[in-house]
Amino acid sequence: MLFSSISFLYYFLPLTLAFYFVVPRAFKNTILLLASLLFYGWGEPKYLMLMGLSTLLGYGFGLLVEKYREKKAGKVFCVFSVGISLSFLVCFKYADFFIQNVNAITGLQLSFLRLTLPIGISFYTFQIISYTVDVYKGERAQKNLIHLATYIAMFPQLIAGPIVRYSDIAGQLTHREYSWHGIAWGIRRFVIGLAKKILLANQLGELCSIFRASQDSSVLFCWLYAIAFTLHIYFDFSGYSDMAIGLGSVLGFRFQENFNYPYISASITEFWRRWHISLGAFFRDYVYIPLGGNRKGRGRQLFHILVVWMLTGLWHGAAWNFILWGAFFAVLLTVEKLWLLRKLEKSRLLSRIYTLFFVMLSFVIFNGENLGQAFSDMAGLFGGGGIPLVSQEALYCLLSFKIVLLVGIIGATPAACNWVRKISKSPTGGKVLNLLEPVVLTVLMLVMTAYLVDGSFNPFLYFRF
């Protein structure tokens, strides 16, 4: 089930919230868990058992890790829990990729498993790992299975994050506050996220699809595609994160921010502090620091960066273009750490141009169906293959999508937010905004509902991962 669907917005969500707020506090997690299982099982009922088994194993290992935390057995149980969780992920997500490469290297004809990738497995696996490791580090194990299952299966962030660390939410599972302010803020955040998804990401995704289907390639068209996809993936994923954070607020939870205007960054290092913040924090705290971080000399630090970014690329998908994408960022981050960061500080404008340029190149690699297509798209940006500078279809698309592109470019910066914040600080402006806000949100919902009823282009990119 998609957040951006009629069934979710007008059936599932209202009924879930009605039951959630009617039942006594002691039963709210039960209602939330049942709703989350229905939400997940709506599209993939056969994989409910896999998520249930993963949850039970995480619950059992968590109790064992806490019991033997001061002994060697505690570490053993923690390693076992992490290993089993990762084995499920590897089996479903990477097995055929490994088999394909073994066959290519050795000439063998090993059969593919052809397992369907369970939706959200990359996210809930990391949350189970977060729980087990946090318990090993000193967090109290969750004795109530329903509370733990609610944390792992919670529908707002189950499918595409943000990745919520157990230590950040443990207290909220048993004690959380509800307020009209939190509910109103959550609704506003959800509607804004939904608008990002339907009114911007979906339209930009259509432009990318037109480019992919076109036979009239040109340098201009390749750059239009690169810009459109860079904006598309931001509004698609940050929109979903906004919706998850907003729903969490309505339900009384406080999830961490996942995006902070990454396209205004003045370095790749800064970009990754602003982009998919929860994933970056996970790899930092559960991979980079345990490996030794920057504590074992510059050479080891650079090796740790390479490991983390190869894993980050692989986490996004079982394909060589994702691995190359991770390695691409590893190289850029290494170069910045060695000498480039100091030079970037001399010009904020040039540093931002540099960052956007390489981020766009990275997303061209990211969105290739394979390495061949990624390299072809990359070459097209610089006139490779003898393509012309301009084509008729590129000009048509530029004219057709110019408003969406312009709104997307402005919306990817804090300019609009800063403008609204500035107006809200004046007494008159604040009153006007308070009156206009419910009207604007209502109009947005009506427009977006019309798009959904019309059956417009409505995929969600991160369902692939």
Closest CA to 354 of 260, 228, 266: 266
Q: Are 197 and 243 in contact (CB under 8 A)?
A: yes
Question: Of the residues 232, 276, 304, 316, which is catalytic?
Answer: 316
Q: Two tokens at 173? A: 């599972």
Angle 371-372-377 (CA atoms, 0-180°, nearest 5)? 95
Q: Is 175 helix (H, G, I), strand (E, B) or coil?
A: coil
Closest CA to 272 of 159, 355, 166: 355
Closest CA to 274 of 156, 187, 218, 356: 356
Euclidean distance between CA atoms 215 and 218, whole angstroms: 10
Q: Is 151 helix (H, G, I), strand (E, B) or coil?
A: helix
Q: Is 138 helix (H, G, I), strand (E, B) or coil?
A: coil
Closest CA to 150 of 27, 294, 36, 278: 36
Euclidean distance between CA atoms 338 and 291, whole angstroms: 20
Closest CA to 93 of 122, 55, 128: 122
Quickly list DSSP for 3-59: SSSHHIIIIIHHHHHHHHHHS-GGGHHHHHHHHHHHHHHTT-GGGHHHHHHHHHHHH
Report residue 26 CA to chain centroid gap: 31
Q: Tokens 């009629």 sit at which residue?
A: 6
Q: Are 363 and 372 in contact (CB under 8 A)?
A: no
Q: Specify the amino acid at residue 81.
A: S
φ and ψ of 109, to 5 deg: -125, 50
Euclidean distance between CA atoms 251 and 11, whole angstroms: 17
Q: Are 118 and 92 in contact (CB under 8 A)?
A: yes
**316 noted as active-site residue:** yes
Euclidean distance between CA atoms 317 and 365, whole angstroms: 13
Q: Tokens 């994050």 sit at which residue?
A: 161
Which residues are identified as catalytic? 316
